[in-house]
Chain A
Amino acid sequence: MERHFDQELKELNEDILKMGALAEEAIYKSVEALKNRDQGMAQSVINNDALVDQLELAIDEKCIDFIARYQPMAKDLRFITTGMKINAELERIADIAVDIAQRTLELVDKPLLKPLVDIPKLTAVAQKMVKTAIDSFVRADIALARQVLSSEPEANELRNLIHQELVDDYMVKDSSSTPRAVQLLLIARFLERICDHTTNIAEDVIYMVQAEVVKHHPEKLKKEN
């Protein structure tokens, strides 16, 4: 039996998809701005954050309204509470893209420290994790959520690689490179944090679909892998 409520849930799904698209775009643009030394693009990421914040509030309000009006149970309850949590994660991701854009603005008028190789790689991993995490929610697909969780080591490895290279090859050898190297270190750290947020989303999706809490229970993930 199709309920009126189902139509409203579909709309919530679409809103979260929209939120995910905005966060993805913010990450992409913040790193493109860094690669192309594009001040305008970095500034547009910062400016667009207000849209993300507005949508976050609208989604939260919708979820609270659902709970108040329908007192959802079971799958519906898990969907709405997960939706609220994912909404907050996506807003944080977009905020981190703003952090990257701000670091980029610090760097655009200074000479390039080094050609960017691993940061774009880490960006690609982060973007893919964000996209897959959102898809896993929208399609209620556990296999996709697990794919996100299994990508985390790759993100950590790339972050460590970037860290090591910047410290050993630049900061240690030439202290004048430190201010620029620190900005790049921060950017790598930000990208890795984005990946961490996507794993939170994936864990929430697993709870939503199979009602099992895997967050802070690594043994449960291992058991099923």
Chain B
Amino acid sequence: MAKIAARKLNLWYGDFHALKDVNASFEPKKITAIIGPSGCGKSTLLRVFNRMNDLIEGVRMDGEVLIDGANILDPCADLVALRKKVGMVFQRPNPFPLSIYENIIFGERIHGAGVTRDELDGIVEKSLKDVLLWDELKDRLQAPALSLSLEQKQRLCIARLIAVRPDVLLMDEPCSTLDPQATARIEELMRELKNNYTIIIVTHNMQQAARISDDAGFMLLGELIEFGKTDQLFTAPQDQRTEDYITGRYG
């Protein structure tokens, strides 16, 4: 069964129709990339999956988005539980102005109750190990998170998500501020993480989408034009608009 399934999903920002009849299934423990020009709706689609768009005034949605079979657009959906289950990594890493340790246990402090210090230490160690930062940071867990390099900050943000044991990681241009080496390391991390998480990434970098994703979708003007296996999309796209975009003929 698909981890996430969008069915006839429409979204409006006021009068602006930002997502048009989007249908797509996101497989568990796979990386799915969404590509498309600026303003095509790819970040909006990503933000639907943890209802982040709800924070924007004038947003209206219809259709269904099923996560593990439950419709998260249901007015009764538990948003706190949803955002614990579906975490998000942003373009610019956004650690809190706290220590490395406090950043990682932040979610646990909100969601968890009665967690012992030993348990918190265990969560910090496991989360940092999962993002391959433990060896680098284990001796300075009380250092301010803002003192880390950009790449370390982005890894820390991923560790902070993992600490609350989500199922799905949404990544919105997670490497756009990183240099090629740091990008390559984050991509390696994503490949590791896919063993345990369903990952959806929005990226402008087509080579990155081609390198790391299993499935890929191309969006244009709010429509999901094409969705399928990554190798198929990048070698033999079915729609002329996809072909034009990925070969740089768009516009």
Of B1-9, B143-151, B241-249, the one with at least 4 CB within 8 A of chain A: B241-249
Contact B236 A1 (CB under 8 A): no
- CB closest residue in chain A, given B249: A1
Nearest CB in chain B: distance from A25 CB, A: 34
Say yes or no for B234: interface residue by CB 8 A criterion. yes
Say yes or no for B206: interface residue by CB 8 A criterion. yes
Residues of B within 8 A of A76 (CB): 247
Residues of B within 8 A of A72 (CB): 247
Contact B248 A5 (CB under 8 A): yes
- CB closest residue in chain B, given A6: B249
Residues of A within 8 A of B206 (CB): 73
Contact A75 B243 (CB under 8 A): yes
For the complex, what is the distance from the CA of A77 to the CA of B207, rounded to whole Å? Answer: 13
8 Å CB contacts to A: which residues of B208-224? 210
Contact B251 A1 (CB under 8 A): yes
Q: Which of under 10, 10 to 19, 20 to 34, or 35 or more describes the interface residues of A?
A: 10 to 19
User: What 0/1 readout, one digit per residue, does chain A (72-114) give for beta carbons within 8 Å of chain B?
Assistant: 1111111000000000000000000000000000000000000
Contact A73 B234 (CB under 8 A): yes
Q: Pick the residue among B207, B247, B251 that contacts A74 (CB under 8 A).
A: B247
Nearest CB in chain B: distance from A131 CB, A: 28
Q: Pick the residue among B210, B242, B248 that contacts A3 (CB under 8 A).
A: B248
Q: Pick the residue among A3, A71, A74 that contacts B243 (CB under 8 A).
A: A74
- CB closest residue in chain B, given A207: B236
For the complex, what is the distance from the CA of A74 to the CA of B206, rounded to whole Å? Answer: 12
- CB closest residue in chain B, given A3: B248
Say yes or no for A58: interface residue by CB 8 A criterion. no
Nearest CB in chain A: distance from B44 CB, A: 25
Contact A78 B235 (CB under 8 A): yes
Contact A211 B235 (CB under 8 A): yes
Say yes or no for B237: interface residue by CB 8 A criterion. yes
Interface-central residue, A71, A73, A75, A78, by most chain B CB under 10 Å? A73
Give the B interface residue count (CB, 8 A).
15
Residues of B within 8 A of A77 (CB): 234-235
Residues of B within 8 A of A1 (CB): 248-251
Q: Which residues of A contact B (CB under 8 A)?
A: 1, 3, 5, 71-78, 211
Nearest CB in chain A: distance from B22 CB, A: 23
Residues of B within 8 A of A75 (CB): 243, 247
Nearest CB in chain A: distance from B240 CB, A: 10
For the complex, what is the distance from the CA of A76 to the CA of B234, rounded to whole Å? Answer: 10
Residues of A within 8 A of B249 (CB): 1, 3
- CB closest residue in chain B, given A81: B235
Contact A78 B236 (CB under 8 A): yes
For the complex, what is the distance from the CA of A211 to the CA of B229, rounded to whole Å? Answer: 14
Contact B207 A71 (CB under 8 A): yes
Contact A211 B236 (CB under 8 A): yes
Q: Sample 25 A-B pairs with CB under 8 A, ordered by A number.
A: A1-B249, A1-B250, A1-B251, A3-B248, A3-B249, A72-B247, A73-B206, A73-B210, A73-B234, A73-B235, A73-B247, A74-B234, A74-B235, A74-B236, A74-B242, A74-B243, A74-B246, A74-B247, A75-B243, A76-B247, A77-B234, A77-B235, A78-B235, A211-B235, A211-B236
- CB closest residue in chain B, given A79: B247
Residues of A within 8 A of B247 (CB): 72-76
Contact B246 A73 (CB under 8 A): yes
For the complex, what is the distance from the CA of A71 to the CA of B242, rounded to whole Å? Answer: 16
- CB closest residue in chain A, given B206: A73
For the complex, what is the distance from the CA of A89 to the CA of B206, rounded to whole Å? Answer: 32
